[in-house]
Structure 1
């Protein structure tokens, strides 16, 4: 298993994983948004980036991140917005490897921090995330327009 930047030929595999990820969160994402997201990920536009985990010649997981400026630091901040591993490939260290990949990149590129969130009920993901750091006590508020 290795982790690399997504390339255009990964689109079908990514779309399959993306659809499963969106379904996991019982959400809907319009096709136009999915298409634009893929375009921005591949061209690394708007600070977006996609890393994929590949094993046995197949893409089996991804991390989608946003690199952005921060108001409390001079160095960039990375938000790990989405992380997903194919259900049949879970328990093999792929999610952990995707996070370690981002940590390594953060350290080599001089980013100031890496952060992410998940649902409190997502015990499987939290068991991985807790290996890296403890959850903080912030509460999230959202408005949709």
Structure 2
């Protein structure tokens, strides 16, 4: 399996949407109308701090990752938040997720960032098996205060 990881472009929308909807279904997310389109426009806008990469094999999109750069009071060049990672069910276990994480890691290192971080549900055992090969859980507890 030869996998190419590259930035998502406007022509990838239809394939991205299939994976994005899979991601939303997995997490039982129902987004407000228009938010998916807004997110896509942000991802492909080089001026906006939301980036998207895709893992492709023979032109077929197998997985996606979204990330952004964050300022920090404890780091000169900040951190990178890996926000969303999703691999098609047919491609899971074939190294696609690892290639996507490694691509984000490389971009974070190139920018001089001191940390790459992400979170997942405690029950997401499949993803956690991959994540645990990078680093052990940080032991942090995340609190979410809904504002809207």
CA distances 1:26-54 after superposition (whole Å, capped 9, x unpaired): 11112311000000000034411001000
Instruction: Normalising by structure 1, report the TM-score.
Output: 0.96
Report the equivalent of 2:125. 123
Report the equivalent of 2:54. 52
CA distances 1:64-118 after superposition (whole Å, capped 9, x unpaired): 0011111111103100000000011101000011111111122222112100000
Report the equivalent of 2:65. 63
Structure 1, unaligned runs of 5 or more: none
Aligned partners of 1:101 and 1:118: how far apart in 2?
A: 19
Number of aligned residue pairs: give it: 145
Aligned partners of 1:20 and 1:29: how far apart in 2?
A: 13
- Contact 2:77/2:111 (CA < 8 Å) preserved in 1? no
Structure 2, unaligned runs of 5 or more: none
Report the equivalent of 1:43. 45
Report the equivalent of 2:16. 14
Over the aligned positions, Cα root-mean-square deviation in angstroms equals: 1.0
Report the equivalent of 2:78. 76
Instruction: Normalising by structure 2, report the TM-score.
Output: 0.94
